[in-house]
Amino acid sequence: MNSWGLIAAGFLPFRGSVMLDVVFLAMFAIIPVLMVSVALAKRKLYRAHRNLQVTTAIVLLLAVIAFEIDMRFVTDWRELAKESALQSACYPLLYLHLLFAIPTPILWAIIILGAFRNFDRDFHAPAYRLWHRQMGWFGVGLMMGTAITGIVFYVAAFIA
């Protein structure tokens, strides 16, 4: 229940709220988007790679802000998860998810800001490229961990 005594029902046929449902579906979308972005970079389509990464980062930032506002002021996820057969697993799964979800946007911001600072207009920065590639893959791994653990948490809390 929120402060108005209401629970905003989601659009999926589960116990999640609208924002929980949106984020749940977004977790399925982010992995293919990241793979397309990596493919663009491998094909040396750096401008398209940059544009997709920046757009994705902005969309995710706005989604996380909306999600946090919803979780703190509108939706009581614990109330929605009360009927879960896996209720005792919800907190451990949430903490596991947060181990990925908290550092991911921080690393992503460092990678994006570093790219803007180090790559020139033609995307040349030989000394920086290796670091960018390695941290980019680390960021992909964190984002995949965020997506997978978020999906598992949603299933445990709102479907089971």
Residue at 95: amino acid letter? Y
Residue at 41: amino acid letter? A
Q: On the CB side of 146, how many CA atoms lie within 13 Å of its CA?
A: 26
pLDDT tens digit sequence for 25-67:
999 999 999 999 999 999 999 999 999 999 999 999 999 999 9
CB atoms within 10 A of CB 143: 23
Q: On the CB side of 73, how many CA atoms lie within 13 Å of its CA?
A: 6
Answer for the pair 77, 17: CB distance below 8 angstroms, yes or no.
Answer: yes
Q: What pLDDT, on the 0 to 100 scale, is given for residue 88? A: 95
Query: How far is the CA of 14 from the CAs of 82, 83, 159, in angstroms?
Result: 13, 11, 6
Residue 1 in this model has a pLDDT that exceeds 80:
no
**Percent of the chain surpassing pLDDT 70:** 95
Q: What pLDDT, on the 0 to 100 scale, is given for residue 126? A: 85
Q: pLDDT band at residue 2, thresholds of 50, 70 and 90?
A: very low
Burial of 13 (0-12, 13-18, 19+ CB in 10 A): exposed
DSSP letter, residue 11: S
Query: How much is the pTM?
Result: 0.88
